[in-house]
Amino acid sequence: PTLGRDDVELIQRDTLYQGFFRLEALELRHRLFEGGWSATMRREVHNRFDAVGVLLYDPHRDALVLIEQFRAGAIDDPTSPWKLELVAGLADKDESLEDVARREAMEEAGCQVGQLTKLHTYYPSPGACNERVTLFCGLVDTHGLGGVYGVEDEHEDIRVHIVTFTNAWELLEQGRLDNAMCLIGLHWLAGQRASLRAASQRAAPFNKDTKRTQ
């Protein structure tokens, strides 16, 4: 970008709503590409915690772990408010992003992650939301995975699905994987899948005894 944070004048910041998330009203102006400053404007911003997502992939079986759960934001979706997604959760300032990814994989899918690779950090909707998402790929052993998981105190009711890459790609093309994490993660995997599978053939399968509660 040719302009930076110093090219924005924040005049006033007000909290309109404070719950689990916060809604703010910003009064600001910013520099223009052709010189000078914009008029003062009001923008509303949804303040969220940063999030972590993890694409769980078994290179030996060429399979992915997808989770299915109810999403309030999709309540008006004409197909279903239950969505197929990657494992994800909110970042905790007391944990590293890698630790969040491993913890969420256990809580939401009952699986332990081996090698963890950072893919991207991105803003899903910077026009009105400050959330940043960091996406990882985690190698797992899908043998025996499945069932229903989630943290009861957080009202999570999560079904685990094990699908081949081919089937996951078909779901993507059919529009049934309709969230940014799946789109970014699967397109990354399409380019890296062959090398991940080749490396897995040269190494012993990742397999640790993991207590799974169903």
Give average pLDDT by consecutive 10-residue segment, the chain, 214 residues: 96 97 98 97 97 98 98 96 97 93 96 96 96 98 93 91 98 96 98 94 59 40
**Which helix (H) or strand (E) covers residue 167, if one does?**
helix 165-173
Residues in the chain: 214
Predicted pLDDT of residue 168: 98
What predicted TM-score, i.e. pTM, was given to this entire model? Answer: 0.89
211 is a domain residue: no
Q: Are 35 and 57 contained in the same domain?
A: no
Q: Are 178 and 146 contained in the same domain?
A: yes
How are beta strands 51-58 and 133-139 bridged, if at all? parallel
Q: What's the total number of domains in the chain?
A: 2
Predicted pLDDT of residue 129: 97
Q: Are 168 and 134 contained in the same domain?
A: yes
Structural domain for 79, as ranges: 51-202
Gap between the Cα atoms of 83 and 54, Å rounded: 16
Q: Are 72 and 94 contained in the same domain?
A: yes
Q: Are 26 and 58 contained in the same domain?
A: no
Q: Nearest CA to 214 among 128, 145, 141?
A: 145
Q: Are 75 and 37 contained in the same domain?
A: no
Contact 52, 133 (CB under 8 A): yes
Gap between the Cα atoms of 31 and 7, Å rounded: 5
Would you please indicate which residues are annotated as catalytic (active-site) residues? Answer: 154
